[in-house]
A and B are shown apart, each in its own frame.
Chain A
Amino acid sequence: MGNQFVKKPKVTDVDRAILALKTQRRKLSQYQRKLDAVIEAEKQAARDLIREKKKDRALLALKKKKAQEELLKKVDSWLINVEQQLADIELASKQKDVFDSLKAGSNALKAIQNELNIEDVQKLMDDTAEAKAYQDEINAILGDKLSAEDEEEVLAEFENLETQLIEDDLPEVPTAASIYTDEKLDLPVVPTTAADVEVAANSTKKGTYPFLLFS
């Protein structure tokens, strides 16, 4: 483990400021505890002195206690100030980080845009349009040549193809004789009298006649 190229974190002035504030915070806390102890002691002393009927001394102890309590209030507010400033430093440092990264992003964008010259883009688009127009012209010329020479041939071929297709599509037309000889029509017997109808109805029940005609 003798890596000399390990990156050591840099200590900035901001870090030193934070360290100083945190040290102060600790010292103030310590002072608070000390004042608490003194206040408690003076309270106890005053109690004892009253018990011993030493009124003046008791009053003195109480006055001292009051003074310490005032001091404690001040220390409390200093402590709040220190905490506030620590919070402010943290916030400011984060804001700077955000600003720095936004700036870096903006710079990167500008650099990229610098490489992309608007005039170059315009020239590129013009060149492309020119090339396309040239191509269209060639197509037009070639196109004309074709239709002048081959249009008649193409048209003739087209008509041939059309008539061929029409012939293939027409259905078979049956001859007159085939209508009557191909099928034998099987018509059912039509009953005429009532008796016949009954016979027909009965036989229908057996299923021989598919339908019944009543006259």
Chain B
Amino acid sequence: MQKLGEFKLPHFFNYPPYFTLQPVRDTREKQVQLWKDLILDYCRTQKVFVIGLEEEFPLFSNPVIGRSLTHEAREAFLSALVADGRAEWMDKGHRKCLILWHRIQEWAEILVQFARDNGLEDGVVTMEEIRFGTESQGTELQGIDRTILNRALKILEQKGKLVVFKGTSTDDEGVKFSL
């Protein structure tokens, strides 16, 4: 089984036909499903949050069999993820895609759990602490993308579970929980 670093690639990754966008509808559906799962899996384990369509994304080409996904194919697979609610286009030109292997709501719940686990029910933390602090080492929150974190925080803010604030201008952005 081929590997990308520590990530085990599925068998279909080595078959050239899978890199060509299939015309037949049934085959196309199966192909799209396989690629959707692969992309989500890879992003989850490698903590990839954003995919740039024009960039060198390891999944988009397999040098062993000398095949690459065309731009059309990439857009097709990512659009399928967007339709599933598992990704979002970050710009109108569909050049960057935000991958949501956890939906924003799920991230919000993870944040709430994080606060509870660390006794932060009415505590103050900085955004940087949530992303890189000692409490988040080894959790899903480690290294979370800023955009996603902001969106999750906004959802929780609307529910009154926390408030985002800043003290002086030199401070990091802070979060005060109120669970």
Cβ distance A148 to chain B, nearest Cβ, rounded Å: 81
Q: Mark B142-170, 1 if CB is under 8 A from A, else 0.
A: 00000000000000011110110111101
Residues in A with CB closer than 8 Å to B177 are 9
Decide: B178 and A22 in contact? CB cutoff 8 A. no
- Chain A interface mostly helix, strand, loop or mixed? helix
Decide: B124 and A23 in contact? CB cutoff 8 A. no
How many residues of chain B get a CB closer than 8 Å to chain A's CBs? 23
Q: Mark A10-30, 1 if CB is under 8 A from B, else 0.
A: 010001111110110010000
Decide: B163 and A22 in contact? CB cutoff 8 A. no
Cβ distance A162 to chain B, nearest Cβ, rounded Å: 84
Complex Cα–Cα for A15 and B175 (A): 9
Decide: B170 and A23 in contact? CB cutoff 8 A. yes
Complex Cα–Cα for A6 and B161 (A): 9
Decide: A8 and B160 in contact? CB cutoff 8 A. yes
Residues in A with CB closer than 8 Å to B166 are 19
Complex Cα–Cα for A1 and B161 (A): 14
Give the A-B contact count at a CB cut-off of 8 A.
Answer: 58
Residues in B with CB closer than 8 Å to A53 are none
Decide: A6 and B124 in contact? CB cutoff 8 A. no
- List 14 other contacts, CB 8 Å, given A16-B167, A22-B126: A1-B158, A8-B160, A9-B162, A15-B124, A15-B174, A16-B171, A17-B167, A19-B124, A19-B171, A22-B172, A23-B170, A23-B174, A26-B126, A26-B128
Q: List 9 tightest A-B contacts by C-beta distance, closest first.
A: A9-B178, A6-B160, A19-B174, A16-B167, A18-B124, A23-B172, A23-B171, A19-B167, A11-B165
* Residue positions of A touching B, CB distance < 8 A: 1, 6-9, 11, 15-20, 22-23, 26
Q: Can you offer 21 A-B residue contacts whose CB atoms are under 8 A?
A: A1-B159, A6-B158, A8-B160, A9-B122, A9-B160, A9-B176, A9-B178, A11-B163, A11-B165, A15-B174, A16-B167, A17-B167, A18-B174, A19-B171, A22-B125, A22-B129, A22-B172, A22-B174, A23-B170, A23-B172, A26-B128
